[in-house]
């Protein structure tokens, strides 16, 4: 007898661009998948019942809404909330997506990809050894990060003043983790197995989780990587691939043209030609390029990803 199909949980974090969310729910709808969604508490006019009714085969579950501060500890809490809801149902894979991600393979391809890679965890690492600047994200306290300051120059100034004053005072909160604990940094988007999801949730219940990561800066790009490299799950990763090539988390992201780059209409051919490791691309702005987003969803919804007639 053959193996049963893998079951997938799509964990989606969104605060806007809701037409993309609608298309994600339509495109990824499957008897093998369900959706777990967090909508930022500041988003106005969001009707969960409308989106719950979109998939025909999949369930849609909404997490408790939080006001997520960019780069704050609230982002980690949001990810853990989604994992906790989904893991209670026991899926094989958990995929963290943003509400501005677009699939760049067919749904059938995405599901079959994991059938041939059972047990592999897809987590991105930026460098073989974490840089000092990235380590400083968890070394020092950043009390202003939770304020969600939108003014970028002011945000960066406050961060620099805070970190430099603590450096002079010899603050190093990472010492509490012990001399052998390894920190790492990478993209926060992942596709992980049920055993690793349970490992994350077990850690999240410990006092250490809040002690190490509260009042940090962008630690959502550190905590999963650190958990993995300090556990046997480091042996479940694909071969190392560092830098801005996000193939190890199966995401097509361009950090050379932006922070990250927001894809434009002229990038259509580039996106449909992305290689086999890439399953999702980010990021997109539906208000600026609705034609590109619609065209990509049409293309990969067509049989074998054929060119749509509106191209």
- Measured torsion, CA atoms of residues 77, 79, 80, 86, in degrees rounded to the nearest 10: 150
**CB 102 within 8 Å of CB 284:** yes
- Domain spanning 8-128+182-305: which CATH class is it, in words? alpha beta
What would the DSSP string read from start to end of 170-214?
T--GGGGG-TT-------S--EEEHHHHHHHHHHHTSHHHHHHHT
Residue 4 in tokens: 């049963």
Partners of 95 in the β-ladder: 10, 191
Which residues lie closer than 8 Å to 275 by C-beta, 6 or more apart?
247
Neighbours of 135 (CB within 10 A): 17
- DSSP secondary-structure letter at 192? E
Pairing of strands 33-39, 60-62: parallel
Q: What is the pLDDT of residues 225-243, one digit of tens each?
A: 999 999 999 999 999 888 8
Cα 264–Cα 270–Cα 272 angle in degrees, nearest 5: 105
Whether 311 shows a pLDDT value over 50: the answer reads no
Counting residues of the chain whose pLDDT is more than 90, the rounded percentage is 83
Q: Check residue 244 and give its pLDDT.
A: 84
Average pLDDT over residues 79-86: 98
* Domain ranges, ordered by start, for the chain: 8-128+182-305, 133-177
Q: What is the pLDDT of residues 132-188, one digit of tens each?
A: 999 999 999 998 887 877 788 888 888 899 999 999 999 999 998 999 999 999 999
Which residues lie closer than 8 Å to 183 by C-beta, 6 or more apart?
130, 134, 135, 138, 174, 222, 225, 226
Cα(255)–Cα(132) distance, rounded to whole angstroms? 20
Whether 98 shows a pLDDT value over 90: the answer reads yes
Q: Check residue 154 and give its pLDDT.
A: 87
Length of the chain, in residues:
311
Given pLDDT bands bounded at 50, 70 and 90, which one contains residue 2? Answer: low
* CA 15 remoteness from chain centre: 14
* Dmax (CA) of the chain: 64
């Amino acid at each position: 007898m053959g193996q049963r199909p893998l079951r997938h949980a799509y964990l989606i974090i969104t605060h806007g661009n809701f037409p993309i969310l609608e298309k994600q729910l339509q495109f990824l709808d499957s008897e093998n998948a369900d959706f777990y969604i967090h909508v930022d508490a500041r988003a106005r006019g969001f009707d969960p019942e409308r989106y719950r009714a979109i998939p025909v085969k999949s369930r849609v579950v909404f997490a408790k809404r939080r006001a997520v501060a960019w780069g704050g500890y609230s982002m980690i809490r949001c990810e853990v909330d989604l994992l906790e809801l989904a893991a209670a149902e026991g899926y094989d894979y958990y995929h963290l997506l943003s509400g501005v991600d677009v699939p760049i393979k067919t749904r059938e391809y995405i599901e079959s990809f994991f059938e041939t890679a059972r047990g592999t965890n897809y987590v991105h690492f930026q460098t073989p050894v974490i840089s000092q600047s990235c380590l400083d994200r968890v070394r020092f306290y950043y009390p202003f990060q939770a304020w969600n300051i939108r003014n970028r120059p002011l945000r960066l100034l406050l961060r620099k003043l805070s970190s430099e004053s603590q450096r002079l005072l010899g603050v190093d909160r990472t010492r509490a983790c012990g001399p052998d604990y390894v920190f790492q940094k990478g993209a926060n988007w992942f596709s992980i197995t049920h055993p690793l999801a349970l490992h994350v949730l077990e850690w999240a219940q410990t006092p250490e989780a809040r002690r190490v990561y509260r009042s940090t800066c962008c630690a959502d790009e550190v905590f999963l990587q650190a958990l993995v490299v300090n556990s046997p799950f480091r042996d479940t990763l694909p071969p190392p691939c560092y830098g801005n090539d996000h193939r190890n988390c199966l995401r097509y992201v361009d950090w050379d043209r932006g922070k990250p780059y927001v894809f434009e209409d002229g990038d259509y051919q580039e996106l449909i030609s992305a290689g086999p490791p890439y399953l999702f691309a980010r990021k997109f702005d539906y208000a600026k390029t609705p034609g590109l987003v619609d065209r990509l969803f049409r293309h990969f919804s067509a049989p074998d990803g054929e060119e749509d007639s509106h191209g």
